[in-house]
Amino acid sequence: MHFLFGTRDELFITIAKIVILLFIVLTVNAYLTWFERKVVAHIQSRWGPHRVGPHGLLQPLADGVKFFFKEDPTPAGVDKFVYFLAPLLALALALTSIAIIPFGPEPVRLFGHDIYLGIAPPNLNIGILALFAITALGVYGVVLAGWASNSKYPLLGGLRSSAQMISYELALTLSVVGVLLMAGTFNLRDIINAQAPLAGHPDHGIIGWNIWPQILGFFCFFTAAVAETNRVPFDLPEAEQELVAGFHTEYASFKFAMFFIAEYTSMITVSCLATIMFFGGWLSPFPASWTLTHYLPSVILIPFGLWVIMDGFRYETVLGRLVLPAAGTVVTALGLAFIVFPHVNAFIQAPFWFLSKVLLFLFVYVWMRGTLPRFRYDQLMAFGWKLLLPVALANVALTSFVILAKMQWGAK
């Protein structure tokens, strides 16, 4: 079994990684809901959650507890097996897909093992295909939930969503073909490395990213990805005016939470994928010779930490006056630590840029939700088939032509 699991140590390391990543992803999920509610609230000139904990920071915890203790009725006439399978499938597939994402280039050396950031082995040659395979199966969670609920609204929601996902999956897959042609590999690490500065031109930084030659591809990718994750403006499967809550109308309590977590996890996966495919993954946007930019994490963390401390002292509740300065101190100390220990600073550069870019994409998701109205169903289908698909195809043809032309007449 060595080719599957490796030695026993490696097996333990992988299990530890899974547990840690699961914890991180679920926590990020929880705070993504807080982030979303806060940002949308501020877009709409409201405060958002601010009662539970300082700045509403304990709201996700309260929501989680609520999900656990709510009554969990099973409607009459449901297909029991499929009804219980659907949320499990949605959640399991969403969480599995994040295992394929690599988060940093350099392995950490711990206990005599090279530990890479990310669960999948660094030489996973079908990286992007494996991800698409898992997303392709993700449709079933939604479709089966709609069907098994034995109710009209979920059935319509499930049908809509399967039609939408089939339509946009084509554009999604085609839009990354340009990137794959340029990189010549399916391996996510190699795709990032293909955007890294070449030996001859060490100073191109952001210019080398795929977003410039593949701007069409990125447009198609991000639009299709938003549609795949059923988010605004493509959230027709759960259009509440027409379908109540769409496919999860008949799900309550933790089964509903599972769909919810699955949706937010796929948002994170898609953001990671956009970062990897088009925005250079963990590469810094600055030229390699600008070594001063290595202090950017500290430059961001220290003022932010100090601001949290200041804000904490002025906070209304006693809990806030205690917790916020403490959190601010931790953040400031972290920022200072990065300056004091250059090795640590060098190591966190890659994850820092990766996570910053992912955060940016997540913000764009929330921003769109706060800004855009929902598509009508015929508009959605016309947009997918008549605009996105042809543009993605044209992008493939254009990219192959340019690559071929370079091979034929290009510089060497």
Partner 1 sequence: MTEALLVFFVLAALAVIGAVSLILQKHPIHSALSLIVVMVALAGLYLLMGAEFVAAVQIIVYGGAIMVLFVFVIMLLNAGAEERTSLSKMAGPPGLLLVAALAAFVAATIARSGASVQAAAQTGALSSTKGISEMIFKDFVYPFELTSILILVAILGAMVLAQREKS
- Residue 58 or residue 163: which is nearer to partner 1 going by CB? 163
- Residue 125 or residue 371: which is nearer to partner 1 going by CB? 125
- Residue 133 or residue 364: which is nearer to partner 1 going by CB? 133
CB atoms within 10 A of CB 301: 21
CB atoms within 10 A of CB 161: 24
Tally of helices (H runs) and strands (E runs) in the chain:
16, 2
Distance of closest approach, residue 403 Cβ to partner 1, in angstroms: 15
For residue 268, how far is the Cα from the chain centroid? 2
Distance of closest approach, residue 127 Cβ to partner 1, in angstroms: 10
Q: How many residues does the chain have?
A: 412
The Cα 310–Cα 267 span in angstroms is 33
State how far the alpha carbon of 65 is from the alpha carbons of 48, 257, 394, in Å.
19, 11, 49
Residues found near partner 1 in the complex (CB under 8 A)? 1, 3-4, 79, 81-82, 85, 125-126, 129-130, 132-134, 136-137, 139-140, 143-144, 146-147, 155, 158-159, 162-163, 165-166, 169, 173, 186
- Residue 186 or residue 260: which is nearer to partner 1 going by CB? 186
DSSP, collapsed to helix, strand or coil, labels residue 115 as strand
- Residue 87 or residue 312: which is nearer to partner 1 going by CB? 87
Distance of closest approach, residue 144 Cβ to partner 1, in angstroms: 8
- Residue 100 or residue 308: which is nearer to partner 1 going by CB? 100
Rg (CA), the chain: 23
- Residue 83 or residue 282: which is nearer to partner 1 going by CB? 83
The Cα 149–Cα 145 span in angstroms is 6
Distance of closest approach, residue 5 Cβ to partner 1, in angstroms: 8
Distance of closest approach, residue 204 Cβ to partner 1, in angstroms: 29
The Cα 245–Cα 96 span in angstroms is 25
The Cα 332–Cα 54 span in angstroms is 19
DSSP, collapsed to helix, strand or coil, labels residue 200 as coil
- Residue 21 or residue 144: which is nearer to partner 1 going by CB? 144
Distance of closest approach, residue 135 Cβ to partner 1, in angstroms: 8
Distance of closest approach, residue 1 Cβ to partner 1, in angstroms: 3
Distance of closest approach, residue 222 Cβ to partner 1, in angstroms: 20
DSSP, collapsed to helix, strand or coil, labels residue 193 as helix
Residue closest to 86 by CA, chosen among 244, 238, 251, 225: 251
Q: Please enumerate, as own/partner, the contacts of 290-293 that have beta carbons within 8 Å and a separation of 24 or more.
A: 290/205
Tokens 């993700």 map to which residue? 138
